[in-house]
Every structure is written in structure tokens, then in C-alpha cells.
Amino acid sequence: MKQKSIAEAMSAQDRRRFLPSEVAEFHESDRPLPIGHGQTNSQPSTVAAMLDLLEPFPGMRALDVGSGSGWTAAILGELGGADSRILAVERIPELVERSREAIDQPWVSVHRASPGALGLPELAPFDRILVSAMAENAPAELMDQLADGGIMVAPWNEVMHRVRRVGDRIEITEHGGYTFVPLIHTRF
């Protein structure tokens, strides 16, 4: 079975399903859209660029950090297929519930962020990690959750980065300036 392209995967997961009704009519706009609680559903061209850097593959074990509406987790589910395991983590309980309702793939699960933890360290390692919120610095906690050969795509310090773990070595490349909502450690 041929792997879906990023465009096919994005089309298969209709953005409207992941948006509040008051902004759903703008689902085809290439811009971030508000989903409540000061969060956004990312701009489609940004999502596509991040997924291209991520190099998703069938059967991957992936983590979606700051999953918000669940749209990117569902797209990762399309790209990984039924043999993958996609775990999404979000700190806002209402968004966790709303995204659980929108995602229709049993291999994609949405978790509420644990107090003081970034990502899902207890379920690591991951082949791929996608971060959809801006950190101030390189998120070392997430780098520690990468499997050998794993890739993370994450914005920090206003720049998109691609991180690859090769054994004990971390390779980081920069891929242009971006704006995101802030990455926040959950504190209850």
C-alpha cells in the first residue's frame, strides 16, 4: 500500500471537523484559526512544512505536543496508518475532550498533559515528535523522548528547528522564522 502524501493526508482529515462552529467557514483559509482558550488551529501551509521536515512514515510511533484541536494528530494518523501509534498531548481539558470527539482513528489517542511534564516521557521513546507551540529554548525534555534515529520538528526562539537523534548525538537544523502560541509546562 502506497503511503499517502502530506496533501492527501491533510485532505482526508477535513479541517472543519476540528474547528469551533464560529470559525469553521474559514477552514480553507491559509491562516491560523482560534479554537478557544487562547489557542489556534495552525495555518495549513505551516502544518504541511512541519510535516515535510518530520518525514512521517507508515507504522511510526509519534507524539504530537500541544495538539490543540487534534487536527495535526489526525493527519499524523493518516500518514502513519493503522499500524502506527500516534499520541497527542494537550494541557487544556476542553480541547482534549473536543479533539477526542473529532478524531476517528483508533490508533490516535489524546492525553491530558501531566503536571510539570513536557510531552509523555513515561510512554517514550518516539520515532517522531511534532511540537505546535513556541518554546523559549530547545526543549531538552522532548529531545530525551526521541528514539535513536528519531526526528522532532519544533519551533523555539522564533525559528523552526528539525532535531535528529543519532545515538547519543543530537543534530539540529534551522528552517525559517515562525509564530506560534507559547509552549507551556502544565502546572495544576
pLDDT tens, N- to C-terminus, the chain (188 residues): 567 899 999 999 999 999 999 999 999 999 999 999 989 999 999 999 999 999 999 999 999 999 999 999 999 999 999 999 999 999 999 999 999 999 999 999 999 999 889 999 999 999 999 999 878 889 999 999 999 999 999 999 889 999 999 999 999 999 988 777 667 654 43
Catalytic center residues: 42
Q: Which of 159, 161, 174, 158 is nearest to 142 (CA)?
A: 161
Q: What is the pLDDT of residue 79?
A: 98
Q: Please check whether residue 186 is in contact with residue 91, taking contact to mean a CB–CB distance below 8 angstroms.
A: yes
Q: Which cell goes with 169?
A: 548525538
Task: Decide if domain 44-177 falls under CATH 3.40.50.970.
Answer: no
- Beta-sheet pairing, 169-177 with 159-166: antiparallel
Q: Enter the C-alpha cell of residue 5.
A: 502524501
Residue 145 one-letter amino acid: Q
Contacts of 22 (CB under 8 A, 6+ apart): none
Q: Please state the domain extents for the chain.
A: 44-177
pTM for the full predicted model:
0.93
Nearest to 48, CA basis, from 3, 89, 9, 87: 9
Q: List the beta bridge partners of residue 43.
A: none
Residue 4 phi/psi, 5-degree rounding, is: -70, 150
Residue 67 backbone class (left: φ over 0; alpha: ψ -120 to 50; beta: rest): alpha
3-state secondary structure 110-172: EEECCCCCCCCHHHCCEEEEEECCEECCCCHHHHCCEEEEEEEEEEECCEEEEEEEECCEEEE
8 A C-beta contact, residue 120 and residue 98: no
